[in-house]
Structure 1
């Protein structure tokens, strides 16, 4: 067990007094009641009671239940003498559905465990909790007596898994499913087609996988096996085949279905491309129906995702036949044409007893109301989906292919917590800003800083195309205002001054160029109208939950897990647990445990990073040297948001053939060591405790000693030579350091040390 994990699991406060801590579970259950005593089990055997009429149905579930694999043997027993008593009210069909009852009650006494649930799927969620309790037990196989009552907040708790951009084999799929089950997730959204490939073998259109897959695809037999395996874990499998856009693979295999652009080979670049299906061609709808017919035979879930996003409409605009079709059907623009296409597709899906899911762009008043719309654009888009009366899912803010701090995902509620309604009594500053990205258009917006009715600072931030954000995280400085908002990019820190400013913005740990300039102030009435409009929207559609997304432009089977774990446990908690579960510090305490727990289910996040380290060194590298390099990696983080994507684009490496062989490609997304250091600095700043000051100084001294004595080893990694020098300078400098544009690699360490130096000054001035 690492020093950091031991520190987090400690239950002593600064003064040494014991504090009761919640159990080390993630997601956190709805309620936990501690009881007196413990139950002692053994690894050799577990006796289980289940009503005999359910025992044959339970075979597959028990074979794949991770909890039961803690024991050498598991046997049936009568209810009176069983160690684990399973009381399931009703055994449903093998395939889970939306809105099934996943609640459970877990009673651990000094004599036995009783797990009660309405369905077998609730039983599986109880198994997941038991597995975590066993893992974190201080004494092996000893469980504290307690009662847990638990039920999910949202019925849809998913992960989008992109097996297209880089093909991810079935072994990756099943390993990921086991991890999802351990986090009580219940939807595996399988992205199967896109511009860069068609990954499912179909009999009706065989050229799709023969011509447009490089021979890398999932067979019907493999898919059926995955669906059954997922069901045994209580997970639904929802397929996505993308139409009418992201259709390069379709147009390559069957060009007669396209709207104009022809292709000579598989699309190797990443991005948005011109090929679209032709909505005026009757054969396109025949194609869609044939594909749907085969997919519904493979995927029994009632939902089928049709993509529908990122339409480049140039082919539709330039195709005479399509323009005539639009005129005939009185379709005013390509948005209306897209809606017409989606209506036809929705009718086809209904014929096969399927409901349609699409991304934001499918939203249109003429869509069937049972359509489920998934937001990748942001909360403003999800609000529009609800206002239009459609049910929605949130994915914006849960893009885990992007490096982001876990706390950012944790604050990202599918339905934001309703706080007090803010209104302004004074407008202080109104500025325009432009944030320049490395690729794509700039982010333009307005900031209005105001004092609310309690004389506290707050701000309204309006961003073109992305809606409005209200924040009370506003700090007044000598030259202006620094504010923090959670945007679709990540936790975004921007500065607006009393005069024109070019102070950089930060997206997470990564600086971006930004210019801001004051403008004439909004009137108080206009500001309050905007605040009221933003906080008082009427929404009739419900939010079913959300999905984390794992897009695979920069992911391969060698790096997959480094983006999944442990962050996905915190996102799972956001979907499962109460909205009031918001303590970020306690989340990180438990996340450190989940970082190790994920290994039980085959998580390879640590193995993948170690393997990459070894490939960059000679064969004589020792385990001790690898351990030291792993320790050094805790000082750095990959750049946040899409910075790695944008840098690859600027290097002309944003394509399938680009090597993903750098350490940054598998570097852990977040330094949990630095996060805990920051929390200790916060404690010190509040208490100015001498013991904490000594502890923090010892930590910094340890870091300095480590850096000093391992320079030669660390600089064997070419990629780390510059970060090493920056870290060395930051550790020995007595004054706070400017965080330079280094693509985020050492920005968090510099920020942490600056906080520490600030705390030392504050406390020294007090004493």
Structure 2
């Protein structure tokens, strides 16, 4: 068992997900496959396997064979302890997914075992930036051959094997397949902010397990910021005594976590943000602050306080701290932050302004460049390569510095033009609460600005919807496509989750399954990233990840039970069709600071904190509505059934909300969902009343307006948001029914 998950519970979850994928009508559930010239005999009716990320080449006709209960590993190359543990983990996962015990042992003389031949090349250092991750799998009823270029390839091949298993009425089966696979990018990361909200070691380990299954290989931990410092320091103990709020990782826990990740082929890159975002450090050691006395009463100050780069003692402090932290993290890359330094921290401080003038620093960026270069030299002495956010590009930085691009493709191009390696994260900020499909549509090499948010708005509003455009910013010049030389400098990309409005109880649901879609974008070639099949495959992958230890739906159920103990079914119906508002509109503190209001800590105990950025029920409905409009008239009963449930739920929701006040912010969203559902029913000819077209138009316009209010960060700043911070996800389907052309004609 993994993390105490029961096989019985997992099978119910898995069966539900597979059924959802079929009902949704999303088409094929695998990457484009090449036909095998000699297909093996089918065990049951062919069914294409779901592997995420999509392999480079998948040859299969969907045939499958009964999953053997007893396996033996035949090592063509002697296994390392790491790989021996990986095989045991593989057996454990296979048992959970199969719903029956699968034992995997080293080769013996028993001929009644199912053989898996594994061959790989050893690597001196693992995991490492240069690790070889290619693998080949041949899977048939007589055995399996896994050939890998290195240990990472073995781990990836085993992860794919788990995904080849499915349950059928006769028992578990494994799909027959030939797979040749290799990653598109060498850096495929997840950035997790544990400063704003602390995440316990078991919670972080759970994310690492999921990362292994979808072939991510870098966990970037944001360990210090204005909110808190999260690692035990023996040289500067006030950091954990004062600045951790009692929640931090001991050095022993960090070492164990690094080993845990390495076992799964995942590097941990630490980030300790300087010289800005340093409020937590300076709360413990204020003598290094730019502005004294520090303002400890204004929450906005958490994001403003900066180190004093003109104080020699500051460098002694940073040198000692970074040396201590470097020793805990063996990875060659060390992230120093460098983002969002508030210039006034330096320019309005007389001693710093005088220093800048005396040393000919024309701008704060020049002063920061001096700081960055000195820190880089310190870390170079410890064998580290510096990584920083793209603000450090404002002035010269040391060669080989890795730039993390978060402020748009212009900065990606600028870094590449300077000959610096780049990791792209801006299009994959999961805390913007966009749906998986929006992130999936954006390629890491895409030079369109805000492509993800535009895609999200278009998908949710449908073809007739209107999207608000920014009115407070000047349009930027388009960024030309990257040259072939520039593309070689793109190491890869990261999905990023900042946790201002995400606590530990919400983490799994805010990361997954969207991170699985992002992982496919980082691993698979563009031609193998097929948006039309995403949600069907993502439903299956989500269920397997939950089965293997994630708590996304379990935590959502717990949170919902807090809001409406004993009466969760009715609010769950509403949450099946809505999502939280986007682009930081749900981050009330962010907007308070932007509007120069008093910043207050946000309560994360509302329906919007439970609602998912993705609604599989809504996606299923929207796809069925479009298919119905295009001639699949047999879908009418299912559409009517679902719309009737949503239409009738509002009356029940009002009754439940009268007994549970925490639900009242969602009353407006409940009424809006009912209005949309009634419009859809009327379009189908059910419960049609006089004036239904006008009522449908008003319902759709209201929903579109709410969606448009959070269509971009710029719009969010100046636009009122819907009550309850919820938007409707069934607008495209209802709109298709109301305005359909061809097929059935409305009387």
Give yes or no for the alignment of 1:49 onto 2:74. Answer: yes
Which of 437, 451, 456 pairs up with 1:491?
456
**Contact in 1 for aligned 2:422/2:489 (Cα 8 Å):** yes
Cross-structure match for 1:244: 275
Cα distance, 1:293 vs structure 2: 1.5
Deviation per residue, 1:659-713 (Å, 9 max, x gap): 211121122221111112222233333x334324454344434544555677634
Of Structure 1 and Structure 2, the greater helix share is in 2
CA–CA distance in 2 between the matches of 1:644 and 1:68?
39
Give yes or no for the alignment of 1:633 onto 2:658. Answer: no
**Shift in CA distance, 730/235, structure 1 to aligned 2, threshold 3 Å:** same
**Shift in CA distance, 137/551, structure 1 to aligned 2, threshold 3 Å:** farther
**Shift in CA distance, 359/330, structure 1 to aligned 2, threshold 3 Å:** same
**Contact in 1 for aligned 2:189/2:495 (Cα 8 Å):** yes
Cα distance, 1:7 vs structure 2: 4.3
Cross-structure match for 2:495: 548
Taking structure 1 as the reference length, what is the TM-score of the superposition?
0.80
The within-5 A match list for 1:71-90 is 71-78=101-108, 83-90=114-121
Which of 657, 679, 691 pairs up with 2:634?
691
Which of 735, 739, 745 pairs up with 1:754?
735
CA–CA distance in 1 between the matches of 2:62 and 2:742?
44
Give yes or no for the alignment of 1:322 onto 2:352. Answer: yes
**Shift in CA distance, 120/323, structure 1 to aligned 2, threshold 3 Å:** same
Give yes or no for the alignment of 1:116 onto 2:147. Answer: yes
Give yes or no for the alignment of 1:359 onto 2:359. Answer: no
Give yes or no for the alignment of 1:558 onto 2:505. Answer: yes
CA–CA distance in 2 between the matches of 1:21 and 1:381?
44
CA–CA distance in 2 between the matches of 1:60 and 1:93?
18
Cross-structure match for 2:541: 594
Deviation per residue, 1:118-156 (Å, 9 max, x gap): 111111111111112224667543112110111110111
CA–CA distance in 2 between the matches of 1:757 and 1:139?
44
The within-5 A match list for 1:226-305 is 226-263=257-294, 265=296, 269=299, 273-305=303-335
**Shift in CA distance, 69/206, structure 1 to aligned 2, threshold 3 Å:** farther
CA–CA distance in 2 between the matches of 1:509 and 1:277?
47
**Contact in 1 for aligned 2:458/2:465 (Cα 8 Å):** no
CA–CA distance in 1 between the matches of 2:326 and 2:482?
41
**Shift in CA distance, 547/56, structure 1 to aligned 2, threshold 3 Å:** closer
Cα distance, 1:509 vs structure 2: 10
Give yes or no for the alignment of 1:763 onto 2:743. Answer: yes
Cα distance, 1:97 vs structure 2: 0.5
Deviation per residue, 1:31-78 (Å, 9 max, x gap): 1111685332244x3222224732545334345445455445321115
CA–CA distance in 1 between the matches of 2:205 and 2:26?
41
Unaligned runs of 5+ in 2: 1-11, 28-43, 680-691, 707-721
Cross-structure match for 1:419: none
Which of 206, 219, 223 pairs up with 2:250?
219
Deviation per residue, 1:558-602 (Å, 9 max, x gap): 111110111111000000111112321201110111221121232
Please, which moves more after superposition, 115-124 or 665-674? 665-674
Give yes or no for the alignment of 1:8 onto 2:21. Answer: yes
Cα distance, 1:12 vs structure 2: 7.8
Deviation per residue, 1:721-760 (Å, 9 max, x gap): 222222222222332331243266243234431222112x
Cα distance, 1:91 vs structure 2: 2.5
Give yes or no for the alignment of 1:25 onto 2:51. Answer: yes
Give yes or no for the alignment of 1:413 onto 2:394. Answer: no
CA–CA distance in 1 between the matches of 2:47 and 2:465?
30
CA–CA distance in 1 between the matches of 2:735 and 2:472?
25
Cα distance, 1:714 vs structure 2: 6.4
Unaligned runs of 5+ in 1: 417-466, 470-484, 495-503
CA–CA distance in 1 between the matches of 2:511 and 2:364?
37
**Contact in 2 for aligned 1:280/1:322 (Cα 8 Å):** yes
CA–CA distance in 2 between the matches of 1:150 and 1:661?
43
**Shift in CA distance, 705/198, structure 1 to aligned 2, threshold 3 Å:** closer
Cα distance, 1:236 vs structure 2: 0.3
Cα distance, 1:321 vs structure 2: 3.3
Residue 79 of structure 2 aligns to a residue whose secondary structure is helix
Cross-structure match for 1:679: 623
The within-5 A match list for 1:505-520 is none
Give yes or no for the alignment of 1:38 onto 2:64. Answer: yes
Give yes or no for the alignment of 1:573 onto 2:520. Answer: yes
**Shift in CA distance, 57/5, structure 1 to aligned 2, threshold 3 Å:** closer
Cα distance, 1:535 vs structure 2: 4.3
CA–CA distance in 2 between the matches of 1:607 and 1:316?
47
Please, which moves more after superposition, 378-387 or 402-411? 378-387
Cross-structure match for 1:727: 673
CA–CA distance in 2 between the matches of 1:155 and 1:13?
30
**Shift in CA distance, 12/345, structure 1 to aligned 2, threshold 3 Å:** closer
Give yes or no for the alignment of 1:97 onto 2:77. Answer: no
Cα distance, 1:21 vs structure 2: 6.8
**Shift in CA distance, 12/548, structure 1 to aligned 2, threshold 3 Å:** closer
**Contact in 1 for aligned 2:290/2:346 (Cα 8 Å):** yes
CA–CA distance in 1 between the matches of 2:517 and 2:284?
41
Q: Tell me the matched-pair count.
A: 671
**Shift in CA distance, 283/490, structure 1 to aligned 2, threshold 3 Å:** farther
Which of 370, 374, 384 pairs up with 1:344?
374
Q: Which fold has the larger relative contact order, with Cα–Cα distance below 8 Å and residues 6 or more apart in sequence?
A: 2
Give yes or no for the alignment of 1:132 onto 2:163. Answer: yes
**Shift in CA distance, 514/258, structure 1 to aligned 2, threshold 3 Å:** closer
* RMSD of aligned Cα (Å): 3.6
Which of 605, 611, 631 pairs up with 2:558?
611
Please, which moves more after superposition, 335-344 or 639-648? 639-648
Deviation per residue, 1:514-571 (Å, 9 max, x gap): 6699x9xx9xxxx9xx77x734768536111111111111111111111011111100
Cα distance, 1:366 vs structure 2: 2.5
Please, which moves more after superposition, 354-363 or 72-81? 72-81
CA–CA distance in 2 between the matches of 1:489 and 1:675?
18
Cross-structure match for 1:642: 584
CA–CA distance in 1 between the matches of 2:62 and 2:556?
42
Cα distance, 1:269 vs structure 2: 2.9
**Shift in CA distance, 710/659, structure 1 to aligned 2, threshold 3 Å:** closer
CA–CA distance in 2 between the matches of 1:393 and 1:19?
43
Residue 443 of structure 2 aligns to a residue whose secondary structure is coil
